[in-house]
């Protein structure tokens, strides 16, 4: 019995020391800087594990050529070994912050070692840069309770990411890194890549093309300190974070994808069977229950941040991506209508959709979810009614397809 009690205490201690920090900080990023506001078309580039004289200069060259600035999370002994690279990095307008004194996962450190690590890294890197450290990204983005307390004691804020290039993965290639970051990039994102270590052989050749792609899409490429709205995630921002995670899980389960394969598109699209009854389009065309359809989902956090007026300006271009998806995604080629259920029916009506009321039974099911979404994203004012927005495939492609 006594042994079971000790085992129970040990399990509780492990949950408190590793489990909760892993869930709340490492996964949900509570208390960490992980993104900025999406109002401006800007994202933050960050690079880990350098400097390395064999690879970091090429990364700096590509950034300078593209007019981009970034944040480098460096390993203290390497910074001390190559102060000239740190000096060049700072001189070219980049930020240099501590990553580690020893690149060891927090979970396999002693609690005391994990507590001391942020302070040791910050002091050693600051001695090279001549500047106080503000941020700290632990190896692998991993946290224990000691890591959290260590960052606070050192006076640094944890920095995470929203887009991981996975350049370190053994199956990754320069092309896959460029494609992955390009697909996941969105306003306010924090991108993590590596200028040294296993990820560098993919990042170095991928970077010039990736930077050109992002510049071509209108992004300003800034360090974390220059990303508007980049602040630690607090309790008020947690509902939005949780809802975004739920959206991504639902998307994976339902085969819902961002239009054009880009996370900065205002719309997401999935293949479904039309579930409503008694719907007829304005031209008299019936839409029977079970009709193959493409269901439209809004990129709510982006639309909330940029506002309806700017969303209305951007929507036609994003709908052109959606039109290409209708013609190229195999599961969407048979869709006869495009429809959505949302409170944004007035916006979609301006873009060619018909707006129709929903049956009262459907409204009763949707109202609680719609209210939850509005609260999570901080949308004030009276809640508009959820309505059906629908358009035929032919009408949509005539307006937004190739040659329209």
CB neighbours of residue 373 within 10 Å: 20
Q: Which of 48, 264, 318, 321 is catalytic?
A: 48
Rounded Cα distance between 207 and 194, Å, is 11
Q: How far is CA 331 from CA 146, 199, 327, 354, in A?
A: 49, 35, 10, 24
Rounded Cα distance between 230 and 284, Å, is 50
Can you tell me whether residue 199 is helix, strand or coil?
helix
Please indicate whether residue 48 is annotated as part of the active site.
Answer: yes
In what helix (H) or strand (E) does residue 269 lie, and over which residues does it extend? strand 267-273
Q: Which of 99, 136, 186, 194 is catalytic?
A: 194
Rounded Cα distance between 374 and 58, Å, is 45
DSSP, res 24: I
Backbone angles phi, psi at 43, to 5 degrees: -140, 160
Please indicate whether residue 194 is annotated as part of the active site.
Answer: yes
In what helix (H) or strand (E) does residue 355 lie, and over which residues does it extend? strand 354-356
β-sheet bridge partners, residue 296: 269
Q: Which residues are catalytic?
A: 48, 194
């Amino acid at each position: 019995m006594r042994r079971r009690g000790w085992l129970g205490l040990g399990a509780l201690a492990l949950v408190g020391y590793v489990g909760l920090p892993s869930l709340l900080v490492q996964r949900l990023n509570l208390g960490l800087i992980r993104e900025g506001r999406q109002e401006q078309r800007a994202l933050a580039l960050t690079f880990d594990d350098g400097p390395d004289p064999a690879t970091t200069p090429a990364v700096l060259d590509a950034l300078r050529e593209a007019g981009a600035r970034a944040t480098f999370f460096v390993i203290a002994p390497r910074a001390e070994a190559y102060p000239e690279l740190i000096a060049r990095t700072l001189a070219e307008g980049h930020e240099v912050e501590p990553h580690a004194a020893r690149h060891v996962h927090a979970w396999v450190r002693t609690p005391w070692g994990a507590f001391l690590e942020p302070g040791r890294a910050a002091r050693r890197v600051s001695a090279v840069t001549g500047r106080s450290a503000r941020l700290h990204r632990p190896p692998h983005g991993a946290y224990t309770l000691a890591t959290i307390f260590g960052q606070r004691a050192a006076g640094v804020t944890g920095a995470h990411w929203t887009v991981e290039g996975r350049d370190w993965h053994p199956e990754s290639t320069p092309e896959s890194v460029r494609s992955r970051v390009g697909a996941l990039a969105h306003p306010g994102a924090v991108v993590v890549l590596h200028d040294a270590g296993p990820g560098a052989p993919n990042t170095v050749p991928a970077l010039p093309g990736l930077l050109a792609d992002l510049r071509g899409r209108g992004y300003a490429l800034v360090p974390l300190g220059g990303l508007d709205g980049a602040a630690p995630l607090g309790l008020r921002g947690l509902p939005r974070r949780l809802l975004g995670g739920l959206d991504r899980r639902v998307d994976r389960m339902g085969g819902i994808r961002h239009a054009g394969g880009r996370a900065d598109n205002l719309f997401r699209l999935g293949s479904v069977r039309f579930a409503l009854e008694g719907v007829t389009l304005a031209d008299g065309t019936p839409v029977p229950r079970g009709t193959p359809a493409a269901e439209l989902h809004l990129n709510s956090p982006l639309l909330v941040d940029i506002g309806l007026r700017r969303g209305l300006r951007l929507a036609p271009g994003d709908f052109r991506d959606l039109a290409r998806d209708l013609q190229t995604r195999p599961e969407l080629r048979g869709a006869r209508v495009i429809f959505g259920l949302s409170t944004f029916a007035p916006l979609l009506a301006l873009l060619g959709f018909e707006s129709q009321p929903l049956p009262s039974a459907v409204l009763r099911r949707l109202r609680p979810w719609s209210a939850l979404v509005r609260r999570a994203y901080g949308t004030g004012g009276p809640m508009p009614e959820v309505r059906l927005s629908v358009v035929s495939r032919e009408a949509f492609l005539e307006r937004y397809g190739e040659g329209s």
